[in-house]
Every structure is written in C-alpha cells, then in structure tokens.
Amino acid sequence: MEHQLSLEQFLYRVAEYCDNQDWDNYLEQFAPECEFHIPQWDSEHSYTQDPKREMSLMYYPNRGGIEDRVFRIRTGKSAACTPMPRTLHLIDNLRYRQEEDGRFLVKVNWVTHYYRFGESHHFFGTANYRLRREGGDWKITYKQSILLNDKIDSVLDFYHV
C-alpha cells in the first residue's frame, strides 16, 4: 500500500490534463517509447493480444501516435474532433504490483463521460498501465485500455479512454 496514493494521484492528474485538454502536460506523462493499445474483441469474452498481428481499435507503438493526434486536434485537421467533446474521466479500483525491474503494473477500472453535439455518452472498461519512476514522479511506458462497451456509435479516440 506504500505506493497506492502516489499511483492514484498520478493517474487522476493524467485524467485531469486530458479533461482540461491540457495536451502539453498530458503528453509529458507518457514516456517517448510508450506503447498505447486498445484491443478489439475477438469473441464475447476474449480480446486480441498482439497489436502487430491482430486487429485493434487503436494502436500506437510509441508516444508519436498520440502526439500526431494532438497535432491534428490543435490544427483543426481532425474532422472527428471538431468540435472537441467535453470529457470527464473517472478512475477507480486501482490495483498494482511492482515488477523485478522496478516498474509497476497498474490496473484500474474507468468510465469516461463525454458530451458532444448536445448529447451525453460514455465509454467504460479497464486499463493496464506499466509505470516507471522518473525523477519524483511516474511515466507511463505502456497503456492498454480494454473497452467493455465496444458498440461504438460515435468517434473513439485516445481522449475517450
């Protein structure tokens, strides 16, 4: 339980940066080599495991993929994000364990409420993170979001998960 509060506060801060569309601080929380993955469901109860060989809803092999999305949002080159939705990320039930290399595996449940075009919607699921200490804080080196309500009737982007 020694790291529980620190890990929770870090992930709450990441969520707040995203909700506030504070993209510079949001991106700073991800290590340059961070892998970002939203697998696709393979059957009712199993999802794809290997983003390089199987279908994914979204996969970026490093932070550059999220940086590209942020660039497109900022420059208005993403029709899918115009107008940008308002989001509210809720994170709960954080569990973690420390690996031998000092990194932490963290699992959370999450719900993201979003509002766009006068309508409210939500996505929900679980997320698996790999975090490492850097300076006095954490860096995300891996994020996998398992989207449980995968009937997607609107846009799905990194800021939804």
What would the pLDDT profile of 84-141 be if each residue is shown by its tens digit? 899 999 999 999 999 999 999 999 999 999 998 899 999 999 999 999 999 889 999 9
pLDDT (average), residues 17-24? 98
Residue 130's alpha-carbon distances to 1, 114, 119, 151, in angstroms, are 17, 26, 34, 27
pLDDT at 106: 98
pLDDT at 77: 83
pLDDT digits (tens, 9 = 90+) for 22-72: 999 999 999 999 999 999 999 999 999 999 999 999 999 999 999 999 999
Q: How far apart are CA 138 and CA 5, in angstroms?
A: 12
Using the predicted structure, report yes or no on whether residue 152 has a pLDDT greater than 80: no
Higher-scoring residue by pLDDT: 2, 96: 96
pLDDT at 2: 79
What are 23's strand-pairing partners?
none
Q: Where are the domains positioned within the chain?
A: 4-160
Q: Flag whether the pTM goes above 0.85.
A: yes
Q: How far apart are CA 85 and CA 157, in angstroms?
A: 11
Using the predicted structure, report yes or no on whether residue 83 has a pLDDT greater than 90: no
Using the predicted structure, report yes or no on whether residue 151 has a pLDDT greater than 80: no
Residues 6 or more apart whose Cβ sits within 8 Å of residue 90: 15, 110, 111, 112, 113
Task: Specify the CATH number of the domain 4-160.
Answer: 3.10.450.50
pLDDT at 82: 80
